[in-house]
Amino acid sequence: MAVRASLFFLFLLLCSLLAAALYEDQVGIADWHQKYIGKTKQAVFHTQKAGRKRVVVATEENVIASLDLRSGDIYWRHVLGKNDPVDQIGIALGKYVVTLSSEGSVLRAWNLPDGQMSWETSIEVLKPSKSLLYVPANAGVEKDNLILVYGGGCLHAISSIDGEVAWKKEFSLEGFNIQGISQPLGGSIIYIVGFTSNSQVVVNKVNAKTGELLNHNSVAYPRGLSGEVLQVSSDLLVALDAARSSLVTINFQASDISFHHMAISNLVQESFVTVSLLPLNVNGMFAAKVDSTLVLARVKDTGELEVTEKINDPSCVSDAILLTEGQEAFAMVQHADNRIHLSIRVNNDIATEVLKESISVDPQRGHAQKIFINNYVRTDRSHGFRALIVMEDHSLLLVQQGEIVWSREDGLASIVDSTVSELPVEKVGVSVAKVEENLLEWLKGHMLKLKGTLMLASAEDVATIQGMRLKNSEKNKMTRDHNGFRKLIIVLTKAGKVLALHTGDGRVIWSVLLPSLRESDVCDSPIALNIYQWHVPHHHAMDENPSLLIVGKCGQSSDAPGVLSVVDSYTGKELNSIMLAHSIAQVIPLPFTDSNEQRLHLIIDRNSDGHLYPRTPDSINVFLREMSSIYWYSVDAEKSMIRGHALKGKCNLDSADEYCFSSKELWSIIFPSESEKIAKIATRKMNEVVHTQAKVNVDHDVMYKYISKNIVFAATVSPKASGEIGSATPEEASLVAYLIDAVTGRILHRVTHQGAQGPIHAVVSENWVVYHYFNLRAHRYEMSVIEIYDQSRAVNKDVWKLILGKHNLTSPITSYSKPEVVVKTQTYFFTHSVKAVAVTATAKGITSKQVLIGTIGDQVLALDKRFLDPRRTLNPSQAEKEEGIIPLTDALPIIPQSYITHSHQVEGLRDIVTIPAKLESTTLVFSYGVDLFFTRIAPSRTYDSLTEDFSYALLLITIIALVAAIIVTWILSEKKELREKWR
């Protein structure tokens, strides 16, 4: 009976949570979803007369997508995942998109019209090597041409119809890597050219139908080859020598291999620093980038090089496309005065530009980095061209007839960090809200809403109501609202671009490609790191705009110098930029501000020295007063070590720097490398608000939450279990979870999960931590919860003292005092794999918490924290039920209506960000990956406000009806009393 009662109680609770769902006409009112593809790295046009004109692209986010050439909209797309990068793409039989991925180990064919996968072939890769995909250009719809794939030292011939392997050829020559594959048009012989590690050029002739080796020839090049090579024709290669000072032509016509070389200094007639070969793919021609000069050269029949043209400061060059038999065209892009200068040239007359266009482009898009061209036949039988251009900010443009036909902001697919900024306050007497046009429209709108409330509206009426809501909604205003729903989400992308998105509809308010994070002579290979709040004006200085701090560094190495940029939150204008003389290992936003209300930041360099920013006398005075209470920790995953640090004084530098401070190591935790490897570190949000520290349980006993912003959650796994799931046996795998005090290094709690391994995802909030991992013994995912309580306040446990205010909480709390803690833990099975975990946040911390889980299906699930209560038991008492404790079950429930993303998928989901609104019941949620999704949720329902779809018209009619009923009943009562008196 107890079990039945528990199940019945759980059923009632689940039913009570169904209110998290939305009606169909409410979708899009408080949420928005945007789809992107990422930075395009390869593109193939498909513009046959029959069917839609489209371009198929492969991106750096491992996305394959088909785009409409007229509008740029996505016909279809597939996100292959971070462990399945796309190597090359092509079109076979005129109806399949062929993709080679995972370093040449997976070949797939996708149906061109709808994107459905037709077949998939796994290719055995024996060793890592350069992968090549060769799709015959003359592949007709009726003929089954073989697709050639090279990877891992083996060449495979695969049927383009069903993906079956026709034959394979292994190349056992030591250090041999294929550099080019060619097949003469209509021929039955395949030429395979490659280099060995000792600079031998090897040419193999293979039968295209059987894979039989017909001829093998190899010749050593005495000067050595660098490995960078271009195939300029079916029997000709161009490469760089080992010193990268000469160009080498390799002719393998017939059975002979011949070499010709030319010093690069003879081409440019001056000294040079860098040189690289560009894939021009024009028959008999190639392009080389020598410093900032583009050299176009032709290979003569004798193998000698002839320079046809030199172009200064070009941005990029396209591959060649076939116009007519023997005539090929390619495009070149140059930049000047915020304009793109596009020119088209043909191979038989390089000096003449058959097309030259100048297009104005937003300077915040940067320079063009890649270009792909396609031709079409005009009505006058002349050739027209369209160009697909990839910009520096990862955006995508289609240019045709001198105009930008469409553009896509695909840099938003690679967000690295985000923050939030408040909108300006609406001034008195000024309103940006749109008023109703007239009384008739107002009445019409409310009558439609009334019909919708009474469920009398037709499908057309429902669509009209939803359109009116979106049109008349105040969610898109550029001022603050009293509920705190309207904000700016400021995002930083991998390209170093900062964009401000409006929470109302997700539109881009402003964008800026930071000059300090662009590649230049000063900053080579810039990397965008993080974004922080820099200046948040107080209520008495509303005329001042808030500003942001953008942090980056110049290079991949740990000692690369850092870059700081300050940007206005309202306009996107870069206010200041600083090229640092030191590296950036960690950025610590401090809870202090100077007199100008600029947030103080401590930047830790590679040597563990701290540098204070902003560098002003006022900030140093504030910092010196608080320096003794500043602690931080660092993690060295390679050495399995966590260290605690504090500041001790000024830096010992040759030049005096009053804003530089040396540090001292306070403590260190060294995990045994043979049994533990750091897998996950998590901490509380510094701006998290806790409503109350006291928690009264069913026995009327007060438990005090151990609330400390210095708590660090660390999870380690055994070295054998640090790989993918299944890389270790249950006996070899283990996971150890730690709660560590970051000030003293004291381990507050430690728990071991035998037979468990990562990936581990964790979130810390208030006095609890929830973490997700895989249990190898049970073959299921699990979620564990740890709650920690402070026992040192036992004298304040009397509820009456708490109510009457007689408890003593004035004694100072320090991390150096001996902690007396009580820990409660519980573990549950969970169905899904997880990509990200977050927790809801509200303004005062009163509203119940929900754990937001990004599932493997790229959706976000809201799980009530009560399901993760470690005090759950099989048979809760009546008092525990009244408190809200749910009966214990072995698995956490997944309620379909609890997916806050509804039917949307946030492809490539990477992170979930929660933002408190001014309305205590509501949390704003922003999740991003390749896609973006924003919504607002109420974990405890909207107990402090009316919903937006509340029918005021129905309320007014109800009030009028009640007043009329009162008047009628009063009149009838008066008449009745009068009749009674006359009797």
pLDDT in the model for residue 238:
83
* Confidence grade of residue 26 (pLDDT, cut at 50, 70, 90): low
SS3 957: helix
Partners of 761 in beta bridges:
772
Helices (H) and strands (E) in the chain, counts: 8, 64
pLDDT for 407 beyond 70? yes
Q: What is the pLDDT of residue 163?
A: 86
Q: What is the mean pLDDT of residues 591-616?
A: 91
Q: What is the mean pLDDT of the chain?
A: 83
Tens-place pLDDT, residues 223-245: 777 777 777 777 788 888 878 88
Q: Among positive and negative, which fits the CA dihedral 788, 793, 798, 801?
A: negative
- The answer, yes or no, to whether residue 558 has pLDDT greater than 90, is no
- Residue 241 tokens, joined: 């020598």
Amino acid at 445: G
Q: Quick one: pLDDT band at residue 36, thresholds 50, 70, 90?
A: very high
Token pair of 301 as six digits: 């029949």
Stretch (H or E) spanning 63? strand 63-68
**pLDDT category, 268, cuts 50, 70, 90?**
confident
Nearest Cα to Cα of residue 370 among 292, 414, 295, 318? 318
Q: Give the burial class of 301: count Cβ atoms within 10 A of its Cβ; 0-12 exposed, 13-18 middle, 19 or more buried.
A: exposed
User: What burial class does residue 156 get, using C-beta atoms within 10 Å of its C-beta: 0-12 exposed, 13-18 middle, 19+ buried?
Assistant: buried
Query: How far, in Å, CA of 637 to CA of 972, rounded?
Result: 85
Half-sphere exposure in the Cβ direction for 86 (13 Å, CA)? 28
- The edge-to-edge listing of strands for the beta sheet with 106-111 is 86-92, 96-101, 106-111, 117-122
Q: Where are the alpha helices (DSSP H) in 260-349?
A: 264-268
pLDDT tens readout for residues 39-64: 999 999 987 765 678 899 999 999 99
Residue recorded with tokens 């971070």: 82
CB 414 within 8 A of CB 494: yes
User: Phi and psi at residue 5, in whole multiples of 5°?
Assistant: -65, -40
- CA 570, CA 560: separation in Å to the nearest integer? 31
The sheet with strand 154-159 has its strands ordered as 132-134, 146-151, 154-159, 165-170
For 74-112, letters b (16+ CB in 10 Å) and e give bbbbbbbeeeeebbbbbbbbebbbbbbbbbbbbbbbbeb
Distance CA 852, CA 900 (A): 9
Phi/psi class of residue 28: alpha, beta or left (left: φ > 0; alpha: ψ in -120 to 50)? left
Q: How far apart are CA 136 and CA 94, in angstroms?
A: 11
Averaged pLDDT for residues 476-482: 83
| Angstrom distance (rounded) from CA 426 to CA 533 | 22
Across the range 883-888, mean pLDDT stands at 84
Closest CA to 598 of 620, 628, 582: 620
User: What is the per-residue pLDDT across 570-590, written as a single tens digit (0 to 9) for each?
Assistant: 999 999 999 998 999 999 999
Is 318 exposed, middle or buried, given 0-12, 13-18 or 19+ CB atoms closer than 10 A? Answer: buried
Sheet holding 561-568: strands in order across? Answer: 526-535, 547-554, 561-568, 574-583
Q: In this model, does residue 435 exceed pLDDT 60?
A: no
Task: Return the beta strands (E) in 221-338 as ranges.
Answer: 225-233, 236-241, 246-251, 258-263, 275-278, 285-290, 293-299, 305-312, 314-317, 321-324, 327-336
Q: Sign of the CA dihedral 900, 904, 905, 909?
A: negative
d(CA 506, CA 491): 12
Work out the pLDDT band at 98, boundaries 50, 70, 90.
Answer: very high
pLDDT at 143: 63
Pairing of β 349-360 and β 368-377: unpaired
The answer to whether residue 434 scores a pLDDT higher than 60 is no
Give the pLDDT band of residue 867 (cuts 50, 70, 90).
Answer: very high
Record the tokens describing residue 682, joined without a space: 């998590």
The CA distance from 877 to 868, in Å, is 18
Q: Which of 340, 343, 414 is nearest to 40 (CA)?
A: 414
Write out pLDDT tens, residues 943-977. Answer: 777 766 677 778 888 999 999 999 999 999 988 88
Pick from 864, 869, 844, 843: which is nearest to 853 by CA?
Answer: 864
Crossing angle of helices 439-453/952-982, nearest 10°?
80
d(CA 348, CA 364): 37
For residue 19, pLDDT beyond 50 = no
Residue pLDDT, tens place only, 414-430: 999 999 999 888 765 43
CA distance 304 to 298: 8
DSSP string, 800-865: HHHHHT-----S---TTSPP-EEEEEEEEEESS-EEEEEE---SSS-SPPEEEEEETTS-EEEEEG
pLDDT at 479: 84
| Residue that wins the pLDDT comparison between 747 and 153 | 747
Question: Cα dihedral angle (868, 869, 874, 876), rounded to 10 degrees?
Answer: -140
**68 pLDDT more than 80:** yes
Separation CA 696–CA 663 (nearest Å):
42
CB 64 within 8 A of CB 47: no
Inter-CA distances, 1 with 8, 527, 602, 875, Å: 10, 62, 60, 10
DSSP annotation of 910: -
Question: Do the beta carbons of residue 851 and residue 868 sit within 8 Å?
Answer: yes
Check whether 437 has a pLDDT greater than 60.
no
Nearest to 834 by CA among 680, 675, 687: 680
Q: Give the pLDDT mean for 372-381.
A: 85
151 contact partners, CB below 8 Å, separation of at least 6: 100, 103, 104, 105, 123, 125, 129, 130, 131, 132
**Identity (one letter) of the amino acid at 115?**
G
As a whole number of Å, the end-to-end CA separation of the chain is 65
SS (HEC) of 561-576: EEEEEEEECCCCCEEE
What is the rounded CA–CA span in Å between residue 170 and residue 150?
10
Can you read off the two tokens belonging to residue 38? 């990422």
Model's pTM, two decimal places? 0.86
Positive or negative: CA dihedral 842, 925, 474, 423: positive
Residue 192 host element (H or E): strand 189-195
The encoded tokens of residue 930 equal: 């390749």
* Per-residue pLDDT at 8: 43
Residue-level pLDDT at 33: 94
Give me the pLDDT at residue 6, please: 47
Between 385 and 177, where is the model more confident?
A: 385
Say what percent of the chain tops pLDDT 90: 36
Task: Provide the CA 983 distance to its chain's centre, in angstroms.
Answer: 86
SS3 79: strand
Measured from the Cβ of residue 746, the count of other Cβ atoms closer than 10 Å reads 15
The one-letter code for the residue type at 90 is G
Asked if the model's pLDDT at residue 7 lies above 60, the reply is no
How far apart, in whole angstroms, are the C-alpha atoms of residue 300 and residue 307? 11
Q: Give the side-chain half-sphere CA count within 13 A for 62.
A: 14
What 3-state DSSP class applies to 966?
helix
Phi, psi of 26 (to 5 degrees): -95, -15
The HSE-up count of residue 587 (CA atoms within 13 Å, CB side) is 22
Q: Give me the pLDDT at residue 482, please.
A: 84
**Cα→Cα distances 857→370, 718, 853, 901, Å:** 32, 28, 11, 11
396: exposed, middle or buried (C-beta count within 10 Å: 0-12, 13-18, 19+)?
buried
Rounded average pLDDT over 10-26: 47
Q: Does residue 433 register a pLDDT over 50?
A: no
pLDDT at 564 over 60: yes
* Helical (H) or strand (E) element with 343: strand 339-346
